[in-house]
Amino acid sequence: MFTYQGQLKLNGHPLDGDADFAFLLWDAVQGGNRIALPLRYPQLPVVKELLNVNLDFGPVAFDGDTRWLQIEVRSSAGSGSYVPLTPRQQVTPVPYAMALGGLRTIPNATSPTSSRAGGETGS
């Protein structure tokens, strides 16, 4: 799961109210293959143009290859057609990830070190 935060304007003005959203994950900035089923969020609140939503495309959606997020929105919640926002947004790795496959990092004065379950440390 990751958090997506964004701003939404309608005709150049900040949107303030509910809107329906669909989030789609792709393997290319244009065209390509859809990676997972769309995530739909009806009547998601947009407060003073700010949007904040947690997205979970499942455990197999991210395999190390580049992924692109397509967002579709309809501003009148519950009616009308979805409008795709362009361009798709690249999903990038989290810069502060602190764990990987049974390892964890331990910050020190010069750099983080890794620790195994048994307490051994190394750089």
Q: What confidence score (pLDDT) does residue 106 get? A: 64
pLDDT 10s per residue in the chain (123 long)? 889 999 998 888 998 999 999 999 999 999 999 999 999 999 999 999 999 999 999 988 988 899 999 999 997 777 889 999 999 999 987 755 555 555 655 666 665 555 555 554 444
Per the document, the length of the chain is 123
In the chain the domains, ranked by start, together with CATH numbers, are: 2-92 (2.60.40), 95-123 (no CATH)
| Per-residue pLDDT, 118 | 53
pLDDT given for residue 123 in this prediction: 47
- The angle subtended at Cα 19 by Cα 13 and Cα 23, nearest 5°, is 110
> Sign (positive/negative) of CA torsion 75, 61, 4, 12?
negative
Please state whether the predicted TM-score (pTM) of the whole model is above 0.75. Answer: no
End-to-end CA distance of the chain: 28
Between CA 114 and CA 67 the distance in angstroms is 28
Rounded distance, CA 67 to CA 57, Å? Answer: 11
Q: What separation in angstroms does the CA of 64 have from each of 16, 60, 67?
A: 36, 10, 9
**pLDDT score, position 33:** 97
Note the pLDDT of residue 4.
Answer: 92
Instruction: Assess contact for 30 and 88: CB atoms under 8 A.
Output: yes
* Residue of 55, 56, 52 lying closest to 7 (CA atoms): 52
Encoded tokens for 70? 């397509």
